[in-house]
Structure 1
């Protein structure tokens, strides 16, 4: 059984032409005569400068790289800022967000069993550890008779006084 050959595009193949029809938004920089059919919503014969159309990416690459570019390619929606944030939401980003929510739950909930039932094993362990740490901190703050005092260096530190600019001039 022969192995299938690697993909080699054929210039005249209809399938290859259709496979490369990915479109990208582009803005025309110049008036283009007799190309109004590309924008059927206008109904004009010529394409005017400033018209935005979605053209095949291969075509945009060809007509924007000449001496005088005809179009300016725009970033597709997938690469715009709002979509980049969505794409950045990998497991680490999702875990960081979930971790903050778990810490808030541990600080604010009073051992509500329904909260813990909705958590998976890792989240339950993090919740329990943070709840215990918060409880120990509160106990130390309440029961501790020791007061926190400023260090001698901080107490004895004298700040320099501001010199008034008017005093220097007079």
Structure 2
């Protein structure tokens, strides 16, 4: 049974290697990359009154309760008022804000807003995704379910970013030496880093094959025996 689950996990992601590449399985329950991406926080604005949830959702109220001690009595200050801006993990914001009631209005993370869109339109390769959005592509897949009005534009921008940066990833994986690897990958997000490592591994295997250090081509034993005679 343990072996079954181990093989099942390997099919969901590149578990057991030094990278993960599981964009095709975005949204899967056991997808570690998807869990990390959807746990990124984004700002939301409350559209209906949320009674007694301020201690849970608002850090300033939570800190005040901890400093004053536990009080089980109801207080109006424990309610989250309409129009209040809060930060939630993306998975929770989508679950609460994209339903029929739409309790929240979801704002997209900063990397997907107009300021970065203009930079991406000019030159996608200059953006440091490792620092600004380390799970850029996987988080984009999660935002598809948010119903946000900017989703079509975000998808178009993300497609252009990937197409433009893919050439940079291929050049780095095929040409970067061990000394150049750190500088070549300093701006890559997690998916780009995975593609880089896959390309670099394949290049090294090909070089070993060319130099006959890997999967050597040898004559069959019967052929060698005939040649000796």
Q: Tell me the TM-score normalised to structure 1 length.
A: 0.43
Report which structure shows greater RCO (CA 8 Å, sep ≥6).
Answer: 2
The structure with the largest helix share of the pair is: 2
State which structure, 1 or 2, has the greater radius of gyration over its C-alpha atoms: 1
